[in-house]
């Protein structure tokens, strides 16, 4: 065997990693995101009966999607939706070589119908080399536009960290402005000494975007050395709530949006499972506390353990708004079970599996008429393995209906494999489901350094639900 000089081997390895599969040494970097064939103004509109075909795995070793539920345990829509798909653009120099393009937070439908979503590169946050962007979808024009580079909002000194993710929710305030907070690859590491915070840049921050002027600015800072991955805005009372990470355990924290002063802060360690809490109609909170499901009265600060239980689950992984009859719906973590919590009787009713036991559900929405729940299971890059189903749950008959298996059709038409989502919202009319996707390119388009793991290529989808499927 002929041995190559070590420098030569390293050079070839780096070239393969940077330029991608099949690219010659010195070739130009692949365009990223890749071109979406058939798109107009960057958006592909697709309606296909393949959305309604139940995917099956032809062989045990095949890597294609497979439906993981028994036939008859769910329904399939009879009319296919129309889906608009677009990739998040303007990713900066050498975008294809960034660590892991991904989306981790819930999205926002504003009062004017615009949709706000965010992605980041999961890059070198501690070293100050990471990217995180805010986008706005215009449903009238059918276009997605990048509007904010989060790392350009607040000035930072050399050696300070950069934001690589938006894991908190994006919200529209009562003032019509957009609010959210960025985080690191792991917000729980924010208190470590290598993260060189300062008085001007003390840790996690709340950012404001003004749609009227197009200006983005620093609104407020979280407590020193803390970040958040979980937030909710109480628009009626003007309080921004979040879970504080990077302390001696997790805590609930509320900020008055008018005075920018702390409303309430629970003790570190009061929150056990920190990825979800529910905002009730009266402004109080339900969270996964150290003693189980816990109620927080924001006025008095009193925390009360509830009798309702999620059994062998660490707690709720997602929760809807409170319905008119006092119900909260959601899905549990690890066990991936749908639940209904009666806030008046303090009772939890388990409604059956969200989908497969593998893969969890991170966001769920209650329709405006309160007849349906909408969600996509398999959030953490796994949804494509069972076809990326879009689920409509009928609250009256307790049946799940798949409105579309997105993965096979989108892979065929767009070379895109949708891997899962942390951001789902409905239009005000309840006829369009907006989804901010993680995913990967099909094998023919995927650079060698990007694995087919449901990450690396983010996309936004507007799924237009046929009226026949909402009757």
| Digit-coded pLDDT (tens) for 37-56 | 999 999 999 999 999 999 98
By the 8 A CB rule, do 286 and 278 touch? yes
Q: Say whether the peptide bond before residue 33 is cis (omega within 30 degrees of 0).
A: yes
Using CA atoms, how far apart are residues 137 and 131, in angstroms rounded to an integer?
20
**Tokens found for residue 39:** 């798109």
The owner of tokens 């951001």 is 423
Spatial strand order of the sheet with 347-353 comes to 316-319, 327-332, 337-342, 347-353
Within 290-398, strands assigned E span 292-296, 303-305, 316-319, 327-332, 337-342, 347-353, 364-366, 372-375, 389-394
H/E stretch holding 218: strand 215-221
Q: What confidence score (pLDDT) does residue 119 get?
A: 98
Residue 202 clears pLDDT 50, i.e. is over it: yes
DSSP 146: E
The mean pLDDT value for 81-89 works out to: 98
The mean pLDDT value for 93-98 works out to: 96
The mean pLDDT value for 226-233 works out to: 98
DSSP 30: P
Q: What confidence score (pLDDT) does residue 449 get?
A: 85
Report helix, strand or coil for 423: strand
Nearest 10 degrees: CA dihedral of 102, 106, 109, 115?
-10
Using CA atoms, how far apart are residues 8 and 278, in angstroms rounded to an integer?
56
Which has the closest alpha carbon to 278: 339, 208, 369, 368?
Answer: 339
Q: What confidence score (pLDDT) does residue 156 get?
A: 84
Q: What confidence score (pLDDT) does residue 9 get?
A: 33
In this structure, the number of other CB atoms found within 10 A of the CB of residue 225 comes to 17
Residue 7 clears pLDDT 50, i.e. is over it: no
> Percent of the chain scored above 70 by pLDDT?
92
Q: What confidence score (pLDDT) does residue 27 get?
A: 58
By the 8 A CB rule, do 418 and 439 touch? yes
DSSP 462: E
By the 8 A CB rule, do 439 and 459 touch? yes
Residue 58 clears pLDDT 70, i.e. is over it: no
pLDDT band at residue 5, thresholds of 50, 70 and 90?
very low
Using CA atoms, how far apart are residues 212 and 462, in angstroms rounded to an integer?
24
Largest CA distance in the chain: 76
pLDDT band at residue 448, thresholds of 50, 70 and 90?
confident
Strand partners, 420: 438
Q: What confidence score (pLDDT) does residue 418 get?
A: 97
Using CA atoms, how far apart are residues 344 and 107, in angstroms rounded to an integer?
29
The mean pLDDT value for 117-140 works out to: 98
In this structure, the number of other CB atoms found within 10 A of the CB of residue 27 comes to 12
For 263-299, b/e burial (b = at least 16 CB within 10 A) is: bbebeeebbbbbbbbbbbeeebbbbbbeeebbbbebe
pLDDT band at residue 69, thresholds of 50, 70 and 90?
confident
297 phi and psi, to 5 degrees? -90, 110
All structural domains of the chain with their residue ranges: 42-96+362-471, 105-228+230-274
Give the pLDDT confidence of 350-403 residue by residue, as tens digits.
999 999 766 799 999 999 999 999 999 999 999 999 999 999 999 999 999 999
Give the pLDDT confidence of 310-349 residue by residue, as tens digits.
989 999 999 999 999 999 999 999 999 999 999 999 999 9
Report helix, strand or coil for 245: strand
Averaged pLDDT of the chain = 92
**Tokens found for residue 225:** 């050395």
Using CA atoms, how far apart are residues 228 and 263, in angstroms rounded to an integer?
17
Give the fold, CATH level 3, of 105-228+230-274.
Neuraminidase (2.120.10)
Residue 8 clears pLDDT 70, i.e. is over it: no
pLDDT band at residue 282, thresholds of 50, 70 and 90?
very high
Give Cα separations from 417 to 124, 381, 450, 454 (angstroms): 26, 10, 13, 7
Strand partners, 418: 439
Report helix, strand or coil for 389: strand
Residue 441 clears pLDDT 60, i.e. is over it: yes
Residue 60 clears pLDDT 80, i.e. is over it: no
* Pairing assessment for the beta strands 75-76 and 399-405 based on DSSP bridges: parallel
Using CA atoms, how far apart are residues 105 and 96, in angstroms rounded to an integer?
22
pLDDT band at residue 164, thresholds of 50, 70 and 90?
very high
pLDDT band at residue 76, thresholds of 50, 70 and 90?
very high
pLDDT band at residue 429, thresholds of 50, 70 and 90?
very high
Q: Is 218 exposed, middle or buried (0-12, 13-18, 19+ CB in 10 A)?
A: middle
Q: What confidence score (pLDDT) does residue 71 get?
A: 72
Q: What confidence score (pLDDT) does residue 101 get?
A: 98
Which has the closest alpha carbon to 254: 291, 224, 299?
Answer: 299
């Amino acid at each position: 065997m002929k041995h190559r000089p070590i420098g030569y081997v390293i050079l070839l390895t780096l070239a393969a990693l940077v330029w991608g599969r099949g690219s010659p040494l010195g070739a130009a970097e692949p365009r990223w995101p890749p071109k979406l064939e058939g798109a107009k103004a960057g958006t592909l509109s697709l309606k296909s009966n393949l959305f309604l075909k139940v995917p099956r795995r032809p062989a045990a070793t095949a890597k294609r999607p497979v439906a993981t539920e028994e036939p008859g345990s769910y329904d399939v829509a009879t009319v296919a939706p129309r889906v608009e798909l677009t990739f998040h653009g303007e990713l900066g120099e050498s975008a294809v070589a960034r660590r892991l393009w991904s989306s981790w937070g819930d999205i926002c439908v504003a009062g004017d119908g615009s949709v706000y979503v965010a992605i980041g590169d999961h890059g070198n946050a501690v070293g100050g080399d990471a990217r995180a962007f805010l986008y706005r979808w215009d449903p009238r024009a059918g276009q997605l536009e990048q509007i904010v580079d989060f790392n350009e909002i607040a000035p930072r000194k050399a050696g300070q960290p950069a934001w690589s993710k938006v894991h908190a929710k994006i919200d529209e305030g009562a003032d019509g402005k957009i609010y959210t907070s960025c985080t690191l690859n792991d917000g729980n590491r924010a208190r470590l000494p290598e993260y060189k915070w300062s008085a001007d840049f003390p840790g996690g921050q709340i950012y404001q975007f003004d749609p009227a002027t197009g200006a983005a600015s620093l609104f407020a800072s979280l407590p020193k050395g803390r970040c958040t991955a979980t937030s909710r805005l109480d628009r009626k009372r003007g309080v921004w709530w979040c879970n504080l990470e990077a302390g001696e355990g997790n805590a609930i924290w509320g900020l008055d949006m008018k005075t920018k002063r702390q409303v309430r802060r629970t003790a570190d360690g009061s929150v056990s499972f920190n990825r979800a809490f529910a905002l009730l109609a009266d402004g109080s909170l339900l969270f996964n506390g150290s003693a189980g499901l816990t109620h927080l009265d924001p006025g008095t600060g009193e925390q009360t353990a509830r009798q309702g239980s999620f059994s062998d689950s660490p707690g709720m992984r997602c929760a809807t708004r409170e319905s008119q009859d006092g119900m909260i719906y959601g899905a549990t973590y690890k066990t991936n079970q749908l639940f209904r919590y009666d806030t008046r009787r303090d009772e939890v009713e388990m409604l059956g599996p969200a989908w497969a036991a593998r893969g969890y559900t991170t966001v769920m929405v209650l329709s405006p008429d309160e007849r349906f729940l909408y969600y996509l299971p398999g959030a953490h890059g796994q949804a494509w393995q069972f076809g990326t189903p879009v689920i409509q749950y009928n609250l009256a008959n307790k049946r799940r209906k798949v409105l579309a298996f997105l993965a096979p059709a989108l892979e065929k038409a767009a070379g895109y494999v949708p891997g899962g989502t942390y951001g789902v919202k409905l239009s005000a009319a309840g006829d369009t489901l907006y989804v901010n996707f993680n995913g990967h390119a099909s094998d023919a388009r995927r650079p060698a350094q990007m694995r087919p793991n449901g990450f690396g290529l983010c996309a936004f989808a507007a799924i237009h639900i046929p009226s026949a499927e909402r009757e």
